[in-house]
Chain A
Amino acid sequence: MEAVRRLDAGAVHDAGAVEQVVAAIHAEFGDLTFVELPLAWVSRCCLGEPYEVHTLDVAGAIVEHYKRGQPLPGPAEGARALALHPAYAFIEVHHDGFVCVRADGSVTRT
């Protein structure tokens, strides 16, 4: 939670900070195999208009910003409406659905 929150707070421009976030996520999911890791994380973008959401792809440690109307790749587009919803801090995109994570750490699987 904290790692992804740091991204939202604006660490996106610092490549070293992004790598730290990725390392923290790997530590959290340490007991999962690589294939079981989420495909991506999607959350609201704090850069302001015209940007709407951003993604973190753990495989490539890339943070990508998406403008309003710019489609997200693959299954991540389905998470856009959830990522924009204020009830969720961020959304994990898995091959078989989404995990919606709230600010208190509780999760809901779709």
Chain B
Amino acid sequence: MADQLISRADLSGIERRLSAVMGEISSLASDQERMATALARFHGEFVAFVAADAKQKQLQLAETRLVKVRQELEERFGFHGEVRRRGTGILQALDAGVVTHQSVQDATEEMMISAPGYWLAPALVALAAWIRDERPLAEKALGEALRRDDYKTSLYFALVLRRHARRSAALAWLGRFYAHQDPTALDREFVVLLDAVAGGIFGPEARAVTSAHITDWLTHLSERVGFVEEQERRWAEAIWALTPSPLPGRYPTLERVSPTWDKLKWSLAAGHLHGRVRDHFAGIFEGPVTHSPRLQEDVDGLLTRLVSDFDDQELPLRARERELEIVVEEGGDLDAARRRNDAEQRVFAEKHDFTALLTNAAMHPATAGASRATQRFAVALSKAWVIRAYDRVTASARAAYPTELVVKVEGWQGVIRTGNEEGALTQSLDTWLRQREEEELAKLGGLLARVVMGLGAALILLALVGGVPLLILGAIVLVGGWISWSSTDTARKGVRKKYEAARADAPRVIKAAVAEAVDARAELEREDARAEETHAYLDAISPDQYTLTRDAEPRAVIA
């Protein structure tokens, strides 16, 4: 008893203490949770602070460096900007005819002294000397300009002389400019010039000079292994892209019952390609060539850009200046600044492969910004590749024409080859349906029920001698057999009705499928016939017509 009293007292005390401990543990857990939340928030704020601090430091660093880079640019190339401004001014003054020769001479000679190494300074001296008809000075200055930068000097004089209608001289400089070009990596200037030449801005003789250089490039490029195949592959790809989408709903029965439908659908679309190709190239070679007023502006813009762009010597520092400017604009965010800088550099440094330029101009003129004159020029130059590529596309399309069409109805399959199979296919399907009907009916049974009914009838007859029990038994067996038989009879009627409908429908399906197959074949042959016509059209293109003569005359269709 005493033990019991002690135990009760101890337990309550223990329980109290246990409750207290549980309460403290619970309180600890809450505190821990609050601490974890606070720690996470603090961590987030700390990370944000570190990032902001890093950005701020990068911003300050970029601003400091930018000042230094600009100081260096001013010390080393400060006068180049002055040369550029004066160069633009001299051009405008020449256009307007408002400045005296002496002023131009003084301005240019001062630039020679102040901007050593810059090609534009002696080029302007040569220009001024040419205007004053001082040949020795002009030749000397020209030699110096060419020594400093042959490429830009050649382009500069080609553009300036064209501007002042000195066509033959401009042509000579144009030829020199072409000699600098790498046909696998053309500058954006070349693209504008090609459009200008094709558009007649440089006069008809420029086409001959340009096509001679280009023919030379192509001859050398063609000697490279795989070059010709690559051009044919590129033109084939561009021609395939003209394939129209298949028209829906033309052959609904075949679409429903033929597993060969997809192949036929594709062949029909490929067949319509021939007309599209003919129309595309007719659109290039027929109709007038209109000169875009933008073309003149683009050529003048080229000259302005040439005069105002940075010289090669300054480029590394100018690039660094631009990089730092972007960092400042992005508030010190190096990643964002790097992305913007990369994007700018990509656009600026874009090079063009000449043969890709030809394909794009002919097949995607809107994207390439090519005029109709440039398209004609491009196709005329690429004629051999275009024809071989087209023939290859035609052969590939023809290889895929299905020579037979499979027709499937339920589990039955037939083949249409000539279009004369309607009778045979209808008969085959009918026979197959009848066989299936017999099989299904056999599965339903009913024989046993009839046997049982027969047994019942026999028992009833035996009742004449066997008495009432046999009569009753016979009646039961007969009725049982009859119930079993009548339940399968409904199912049998259903089967017969189903196959009767199928047999009535079968000739319609076969007739429609065969008729559509014949129509599809006729359509294929009709569209395919246009392939020879298109081949002949392409073959009749004469490169000489579009590289040597003036534009704007519609070409004769086929000689």
Q: Which residues of A contact B (CB under 8 A)?
A: 68-69, 78-82, 84-85, 87, 98, 100, 108-110
SS class, residues of chain B in contact with chain A: helix
* CB-based contact B403/A85 at 8 Å: no
**CB < 8 Å neighbour of A110 from B399, B401, B415, B532:** B399
**What residues of A have a CB within 8 angstroms of the CB of B395 in the complex?**
82, 98, 100, 108-110
Q: How far is the CA of A82 from the CA of B415 in the complex (A)?
A: 20
**What residues of B have a CB within 8 angstroms of the CB of A108 in the complex?**
388, 391-392, 394-395
* CB-based contact B401/A81 at 8 Å: yes
Closest to A52 in B: B403
Query: What's the minimum C-beta distance from A49 to chain B, rounded to whole angstroms?
Result: 9
What are 13 pairs between A and B in contact, CB < 8 Å?
A: A68-B417, A68-B418, A69-B404, A81-B398, A81-B400, A81-B401, A81-B403, A85-B401, A98-B399, A100-B395, A109-B392, A110-B396, A110-B399
Q: How far is the CA of A110 from the CA of B398 in the complex (A)?
A: 10
Closest to B418 in A: A68
SS class, residues of chain A in contact with chain B: mixed
* CB-based contact B399/A84 at 8 Å: no
* B399, B400, B417, B532: most-surrounded residue (chain A CB, <10 A): B399
Q: How far is the CA of A79 from the CA of B395 in the complex (A)?
A: 10
A81-B532 CB under 8 A given contacts A108-B388, A108-B391: no
Closest to A100 in B: B395
**What residues of A have a CB within 8 angstroms of the CB of B418 in the complex?**
68
* CB-based contact B417/A82 at 8 Å: no
* CB-based contact B400/A110 at 8 Å: no
Q: How far is the CA of A47 from the CA of B258 in the complex (A)?
A: 31
Query: What's the minimum C-beta distance from A50 to chain B, rounded to whole angstroms?
Result: 10
Q: How far is the CA of A52 from the CA of B490 in the complex (A)?
A: 52
Q: Quick one: which of B400-443 are within 8 Å of A by CB?
A: 400-404, 415, 417-418
Q: How many A-B residue pairs have CB under 8 A?
A: 39
**What residues of B have a CB within 8 angstroms of the CB of A78 in the complex?**
399
* B388, B391, B395: most-surrounded residue (chain A CB, <10 A): B395
Q: How far is the CA of A30 from the CA of B417 in the complex (A)?
A: 40
**What residues of A have a CB within 8 angstroms of the CB of B388 in the complex?**
108
Q: How far is the CA of A79 from the CA of B532 in the complex (A)?
A: 20
**What residues of B have a CB within 8 angstroms of the CB of A79 in the complex?**
399
Beyond A79-B399, A85-B398, 19 additional pairs, beta carbon < 8 A:
A68-B404, A68-B418, A69-B404, A69-B415, A69-B417, A81-B399, A81-B400, A81-B401, A82-B395, A82-B398, A84-B403, A87-B398, A87-B531, A87-B532, A108-B391, A108-B392, A110-B395, A110-B396, A110-B399
* CB-based contact B391/A80 at 8 Å: no
Q: How far is the CA of A82 from the CA of B397 in the complex (A)?
A: 9
* CB-based contact A110/B392 at 8 Å: yes
**What residues of A have a CB within 8 angstroms of the CB of B531 in the complex?**
87
**What residues of A have a CB within 8 angstroms of the CB of B396 in the complex?**
110
The 6 closest A-B CB pairs, nearest first, are A108-B391, A81-B401, A110-B395, A108-B395, A100-B395, A82-B399
Q: How far is the CA of A73 from the CA of B59 in the complex (A)?
A: 73
Query: What's the minimum C-beta distance from A90 to chain B, rounded to whole angstroms?
Result: 13
Q: Quick one: which of B464-517 are within 8 Å of A by CB?
A: none
Query: What's the minimum C-beta distance from A75 to chain B, rounded to whole angstroms?
Result: 11
Closest to B388 in A: A108
**What residues of B have a CB within 8 angstroms of the CB of A87 in the complex?**
398, 531-532
Query: What's the minimum C-beta distance from A85 to chain B, rounded to whole angstroms?
Result: 5
Query: What's the minimum C-beta distance from B418 to chain A, rounded to whole angstroms?
Result: 8
**What residues of A have a CB within 8 angstroms of the CB of B417 in the complex?**
68-69
* B398, B402, B415, B528: most-surrounded residue (chain A CB, <10 A): B398
**What residues of A have a CB within 8 angstroms of the CB of B415 in the complex?**
69
**What residues of A have a CB within 8 angstroms of the CB of B398 in the complex?**
81-82, 85, 87
A80-B403 CB under 8 A given contacts A68-B417, A85-B398: yes
Query: What's the minimum C-beta distance from A93 to chain B, rounded to whole angstroms?
Result: 11
Q: How far is the CA of A98 from the CA of B532 in the complex (A)?
A: 19
**What residues of B have a CB within 8 angstroms of the CB of A100 in the complex?**
395
**What residues of A have a CB within 8 angstroms of the CB of B399 in the complex?**
78-79, 81-82, 98, 110
**What residues of A have a CB within 8 angstroms of the CB of B392 in the complex?**
108-110
* B403, B417, B418, B532: most-surrounded residue (chain A CB, <10 A): B403
Q: How far is the CA of A107 from the CA of B392 in the complex (A)?
A: 10
Q: How far is the CA of A109 from the CA of B232 in the complex (A)?
A: 11
* A69, A78, A85: most-surrounded residue (chain B CB, <10 A): A85
Query: What's the minimum C-beta distance from A76 to chain B, rounded to whole angstroms?
Result: 12
Q: How far is the CA of A44 from the CA of B396 in the complex (A)?
A: 18
Query: What's the minimum C-beta distance from B201 to chain A, rounded to whole angstroms?
Result: 39
**What residues of B have a CB within 8 angstroms of the CB of A82 in the complex?**
395, 398-399
Q: How far is the CA of A80 from the CA of B532 in the complex (A)?
A: 20
Q: How far is the CA of A100 from the CA of B398 in the complex (A)?
A: 11
